[in-house]
């Protein structure tokens, strides 16, 4: 592969990475637990944007259960965000000829 072609590909990749980072920030996903009793909405950075708790969980002595459900809902949302980022990354970088399995720093 000649040097100029490699430089052109590197520049294209850099431009696409910048675009991808902006798109990742716009991704949102909802995670839930307890059959929907707790739901969270996360952005592409994994930041919690909203939290909804069913009033049936607002009972004295239920704090530990509620805490576990919040953590589980966040984990569910994070998995969905990670999948969406992976799909978006593959979609944008598919034409660049990157080695299979190469992970990008997001």
pLDDT band at 55 (very low <50, low <70, confident <90, very high): very high
Average pLDDT over residues 48-56: 95
Average pLDDT, the chain: 86
Q: Do 78 and 46 form a contact (C-beta atoms < 8 A)?
A: yes
- Would the pTM count as exceeding 0.85? no
- pLDDT score of 95: 62
In this predicted structure, the answer to whether residue 51 has a pLDDT above a threshold of 80 is: yes
Q: What per-residue string of b and e applies to 44-53 under the rule 16 or more CB within 10 Å gives b?
A: beeeeeeeeb
Domains and CATH numbers, the chain: 26-92 (3.30.1310.10)
The per-type count for the chain, helices as H runs and strands as E runs, is 2, 3
């Amino acid at each position: 592969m000649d040097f100029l072609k490699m430089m052109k590909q590197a520049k294209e990749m850099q431009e696409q990475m910048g675009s991808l980072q902006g798109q990742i920030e716009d991704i949102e996903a909802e995670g839930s637990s307890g059959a929907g009793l707790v739901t969270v909405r996360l952005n592409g950075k994994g930041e919690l944007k909203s939290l909804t708790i069913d009033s049936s969980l607002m009972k004295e002595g239920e704090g530990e259960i509620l805490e576990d459900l919040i953590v589980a809902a966040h984990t569910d949302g994070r998995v969905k965000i990670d999948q969406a980022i992976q799909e978006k990354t593959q979609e944008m970088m598919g034409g660049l000829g990157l080695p299979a399995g190469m992970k990008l720093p997001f």
